[in-house]
Amino acid sequence: NGGKNCVGALSESASCGTNPCPVDGKYGTWAAWSKCTKTCGSGTQKRNRACNNPAPKYGGKTCVGKSSETRFCNTKRCPVNGGWSAFGNYGPCNNKCGGGIQKKMRYCSNPTPKYGGKGCPGLNTMIRACNLHKCPVDGGYSSWGAFSRCSKSCGGGTRSRTRSCTNPTPKYGGQSCSRLGASRETQHCGTGACPIPWSGYKTARVCEHHTMHLNCGSGGRVYIHSANYGRRSRAHCGNIFWYSTRCGSGSSHHNVVVRCNNRQSCSVKATNSIFGDPCWGTVKYLEVT
């Protein structure tokens, strides 16, 4: 119909939905672990992560999951250093006298060192002196002294000898010598009969290996005044010039007395088996008065 075409654009557009889109949050990487709360005996340590990769925006969701986590650390046992117990009582002295020692102990058990812990410092023993008093010294006798002179020369006497408690002398409560016997010893002596006041002594003599016979007859008694088995002269039993003339047995008088005194008669053989040999190689004789 000859009309004019429309003037202008056939369509137009307009902006819409200009608000930003929601951004959901995501966690970043974990930070380093914190220092352990203990050096031993099981501690803990912690680490964190931030919700920033990206951070939630425009109504986006927050990060899913934990923002921190904890774990155990240094779980090995802690060293236990040793500690001393109290000292015990002192033990017995090792000597009863004269000075000794006694000990008392303590132990590294309060507590006992463990897991690389240190031992107890110092000594586990205390020592002190004990029983310092001197030890008793028991008395001991000296050797016997010489016998005293006989109280009688005949008819029965006594003689004595002594010893002293000086070897050692008892000290410091030690025992006396009485436990060892007497300090004096007495013997009989001078047991021969006393001489009868009479001058009618007779001398008898026999050579070695011969027997002397003495007889005082009825009512008489033999009393030996002197006796010698040996040799005092060359005039008897062989006049040999090299024979000793100064020898005699010390038991001569005794051996004749015990065989003859106070008897009516007796016999004595002149032999070495009775008197011993006072001069070897010399022919001897027994002479009795």
Q: Considering only the top CATH level, what class is 78-134? A: mainly beta
Give yes or no on whether 78-134 and 136-193 have one common fold: yes
Supply the pLDDT for residue 63.
Answer: 95
For 57-111, write each residue's pLDDT tens digit. 999 999 999 999 999 999 999 999 999 999 999 999 999 999 999 999 999 999 9
What distances in angstroms separate CA 160 from CA 151, 163, 182, 257, 260, one per listed residue? Answer: 9, 10, 12, 23, 28
Task: Give yes or no for residue 243 having a pLDDT over 90.
Answer: no
Q: Which fold has domain 204-288?
A: Jelly Rolls (2.60.120)
Question: pLDDT confidence of 147, banded at 50, 70, 90?
Answer: very high
Task: Give yes or no for residue 195 having a pLDDT over 90.
Answer: no
111-125, 150-164, 229-243: range with lowest mean pLDDT: 229-243
What distances in angstroms separate CA 232 from CA 205, 227, 256, one per listed residue? Answer: 12, 12, 18
Task: Give yes or no for residue 22 having a pLDDT over 70.
Answer: yes
Long-range contacts formed by 3-11: CB under 8 A, 24+ apart: none
Task: Give yes or no for residue 115 having a pLDDT over 90.
Answer: yes
> Which residue ranges make up each domain of the chain?
78-134, 136-193, 204-288
- Cα 12 to chain center, whole Å? 128
Looking at domain 136-193, its CATH superfamily turns out to be: Thrombospondin type-1 (TSP1) repeat (2.20.100.10)
**Rounded percentage of the chain residues whose pLDDT exceeds 70:** 95
Supply the pLDDT for residue 45.
Answer: 97
Question: pLDDT confidence of 205, banded at 50, 70, 90?
Answer: very high
Question: pLDDT confidence of 130, banded at 50, 70, 90?
Answer: very high
Task: Give yes or no for residue 156 having a pLDDT over 90.
Answer: no
Task: Give yes or no for residue 219 having a pLDDT over 80.
Answer: no
Q: How far apart are CA 36 and CA 45, in angstroms?
A: 5
Region 4-22: mean pLDDT is: 81
Supply the pLDDT for residue 245.
Answer: 80
128 burial class (0-12, 13-18, 19+ CB within 10 angstroms)?
A: exposed
